Amino acid sequence: MSTEENGGAHENGMPGSASPPAEVERLQQALAEAEERARSHREQYLRAVAELDNVRKRAQRDIESANRYGLEKFAAELLPVRDSLELAVQSADQAEVDARSLKQGQEATLQLLVKALERLGLAPINPVGEPFDPTRHEEMLAQESATAKPNTVLQVVQTGYELNGRVVRPARVIVAKAPA
């Protein structure tokens, strides 16, 4: 084959027909595009890492703040109760205080406390007539009953409490059992 024949074969689109400078140029362009994509992906990665670090730091600050100031709402709700108790102690020192006004003061203070606890999400557990639930109730005594179904709560000995649906203290109860 002569050199002219070789050149002719390259021009006819046969394998290896691209001239070396054109192939190098195409490869250089592909390399430049790949490098640009890699640079873009690296920038996205670095931004994502920085954002994740910011979220972690913000969450840590929020946790620290909640630990430091979490009881602030609780304290603010109980301050009126404390004030009322202070007034009761001061008025008890006066000789003219009678039992009725003392009782009224105690009832008012109890109402303040009940409302403060309700605003904080604390709710009483009063299961009279409900089936006994060991996750919410603590059985103190089983008592025979002809009127109540067995294993139902007859009486609450000590009120239980839930905080936002979670039991803080189970209700202490007397549970019905079948008569002998």
Of 53, 69, 85, the one marking the end of a domain is 69
One domain for residues 49 and 82: no
The model's pTM is: 0.57
Q: What is the pLDDT of residue 56?
A: 96
Q: How many CB atoms lie within 10 A of CB 148?
A: 17
Q: Is the pLDDT of residue 161 over 50?
A: yes
- The total domain count for the chain is 3
- Distance (Å) of CA 83 to CA 87, 98, 134: 6, 20, 38
Structural domain containing residue 33: 3-69
Q: What is the pLDDT of residue 54?
A: 96
One domain for residues 128 and 171: yes
Of 69, 92, 109, the one marking the end of a domain is 69
What average pLDDT does the structure give for the chain? 85
One domain for residues 59 and 110: no
What distance in Å separates the CA atoms of residue 66 and residue 76, rounded to the nearest whole number?
A: 15
5-9, 15-19, 81-85, 131-135 — most confident range: 131-135
Q: What percent of the chain has pLDDT over 70?
A: 87
One domain for residues 77 and 116: yes
One domain for residues 59 and 96: no
pLDDT, tens digit (0-9, with 9 covering 90-100), for 20-75: 889 999 999 999 999 999 999 999 999 999 999 999 999 999 988 887 777 777 87
Q: How many CB atoms lie within 10 A of CB 170?
A: 19
One domain for residues 7 and 57: yes
What distance in Å separates the CA atoms of residue 158 and residue 173, rounded to the nearest whole number?
A: 7
Q: What is the pLDDT of residue 68?
A: 76
One domain for residues 35 and 48: yes
- Distance (Å) of CA 142 to CA 78, 150, 151, 152, 179: 37, 9, 8, 10, 11
CATH number of the domain within which 175 lies? 2.30.22.10
One domain for residues 37 and 90: no
One domain for residues 7 and 54: yes
Using 50, 70 and 90 to split pLDDT, how confident is the model at 166?
very high
One domain for residues 125 and 180: yes
One domain for residues 49 and 85: no
Q: Work out the average pLDDT over 157-178.
A: 93
* Distance, CA of 95 to chain centre: 52
pLDDT, tens digit (0-9, with 9 covering 90-100), for 115-142: 888 888 889 999 999 999 999 999 999 9
One domain for residues 87 and 30: no
